[in-house]
Chains A and B, each alone.
Chain A
Amino acid sequence: MTTVTIDNVSRWFGNVVAVNDVSMTIGPGVTGLLGPNGAGKSTLINMMGGFLAPSTGSVTLDGQTIWRNERAYRHIGIVPERESMYDFLTGAEFVLANAELHGLPNPEAAARKALATVEMEYAQGRRIDTYSKGMRQRVKMASALVHDPSVLLLDEPFNGMDPRQRLQLMDLLRQMGAEGRTVLFSSHILEEVEQLAHHIEVIVAGRHAASGDFRKIRRLMTDRPHRYLVRSSDDRALAAALIADDSTTGLELGIEAGRGALRIQAVDFARFTELLPRVAREHGIRLYEVSPSDESLESVFSYLVAA
């Protein structure tokens, strides 16, 4: 069993605080590190991967400091976010080089196995600079898996992958987690994290905003008022009908982008989504547009931080 412990860690670059007094423990299973772009996820992963020293606090792997400790890499596999690899090598040569650098007793066999795990055997003889983004991602994955690590750190692994590759990688990570490995991946896409990790850690503006079971956090997120922008054949009549129901707490008639629009604030998400089409039908009002106006992840996060 392998655990990564982050203890009161801060990291600043000059005057900019990238990570601010974060403590968390990442144990076996799949953990999602969720946060908007620029929140400090990469900085945190770089510290866990030993690429960056914490300014204060400690990052340890089963009690051993990771920074400046090459031996830790026997247990850690890293999939960096950056695209660059040794592009002049073929996929097979690249994974083999990684196996040799780990000093494995049979690097050829390990490389073959890792490439098979990510289903890249068919293109292993091609140079990496001819690969698509998804193929690169999978070869990176193979290079991280080649020494059978107990900890796998992945920085935005789904970036640039098509849906099929995404599902494949998710299956692979799930399987790794089920085998008892400690798998941590970062993402700024809520849906990705939702599909893969039960346990999530949320980072917002360098701070640890939430930790724990995804469903509980998600519920926190859905309990907040939802804002919608609606355009219909009769906004005024629709507003009058909606305000009678408890699920809405605020309505505003106005002009949006040069056209009339109705802004609605709803507290009960489930009930409102059922209410709106029903009320429209009953009053003979046609809905032209219904769009959530604050579903951006940043707003979800800011709500979380305030909660």
Chain B
Amino acid sequence: MSTVYHPTVARLTYRALLGRRRAAILFALPLLLLVISAAVRALTGADDSTAREVLSGFALATMVPLIGVIAGTGAIAPEIDDGSIAYLLSKPVKRPTIILTKLLVAMLVSVGFAAIPTFLAGLILDGNSQHLAVAFGVAAAVASLTYSAVFLLLGVVTRHAVVAGLVYALVWESLIGNLVPGARTLSVQQWALALAAKVADGGAVSSDVALPTAVVLLVGVTLVATWFAGRRLRALTLAGEE
């Protein structure tokens, strides 16, 4: 059996993610983005700056982190909360394998529900003018990968993972990032924008973070979060109800 992927763990995680009530948000948010994009296109016609506003302001700043919270925490936190993770942990399966499999599932779900709709929204908005659709699609995809790892870790370390994730996604990324310029350096969204800036035509997209820094931070945070989640799961204690 592979040490990074266990098909049974993956199956259970998919069904848990897509079968619970919160999965409705996974479908609703991208749908909302597509509907907004279609409406904007119909009302204002193809316009690069409007497209950028929608893709950056709604897709990358709000939808991608929210989907990341749902997929990342949802891949493990509910099982830890209700104790059903005991059925995974009481098996001769290495804990890092459990984490890596759950991470892969969370990443696939995030990319599927956040990055692909972002790319489609870009096409709807202005037909990939200035490569905006591809640029924001790529940015949403890499942001999804990092968010999945970070929020999966949150799901392992805290019982309030969803709240913590929402605070990060909405308060830090959206609010503080807009008010305090320095905070943007520590923003997954800005790192992803640095990639978008590289992909899009010159000057069409800008980021507060340089590309090399952004890549190092994206990769570093993803790896460290994954490693730490595996470590924490290994030492996870299931205190009884006593």
Contacts and interface: CB of A to CB of B under 8 A. Distances in A.
B87 A43 contact: no
Interface stretch (A97-105, A166-174, A225-233): A97-105
A40 B8 CA distance: 33
Given A70-B92, A84-B82, A102-B92, A38 B242 contact: yes
A40 B92 CA distance: 26
Interface residues of A, number: 38
Nearest to A71: B92
Given A51-B237, A70-B93, A101 B8 contact: yes
Contacts of B95: 70
B91 A82 contact: no
A18 B238 contact: no
Contact of A102 (B19, B91, B239): B91
A42 B235 CA distance: 18
B8 to A, nearest CB: 4
Nearest to A98: B87
A86 B242 contact: no
A101 B9 contact: yes
Contact of A101 (B93, B234, B235, B242): B93
Interface centre among A49, A76, A84, by most chain B C-beta atoms within 10 angstroms, is A84
Contacts of A78: 86, 90
Given A53-B237, A73-B90, A100 B242 contact: no
Contact of A51 (B84, B86, B91, B241): B86
A100 B8 contact: yes
Interface stretch (B10-18, B28-36, B188-196, B200-208): B10-18
Contact of B234 (A37, A52, A68, A100): A68
Nearest to B6: A101
A50 B16 CA distance: 25
Contact of A43 (B1, B16, B94, B240): B240
Given A82-B82, A101-B91, A52 B8 contact: no
A122 interface: no
14 contacts: A18-B242, A43-B242, A46-B238, A46-B239, A53-B235, A70-B94, A80-B86, A81-B240, A82-B83, A82-B86, A88-B16, A97-B11, A101-B87, A101-B91
Interface of A: 13, 18, 37-38, 40-43, 45-46, 49-53, 68, 70-71, 73-74, 76, 78, 80-82, 84-86, 88-89, 97-98, 100-103, 143, 155
Interface of B: 1, 6-9, 11-12, 15-16, 19-20, 82-84, 86-95, 234-235, 237-242
Q: Which 5 A-B pairs have the closest CB atoms?
A: A42-B240, A84-B82, A82-B83, A101-B91, A100-B8
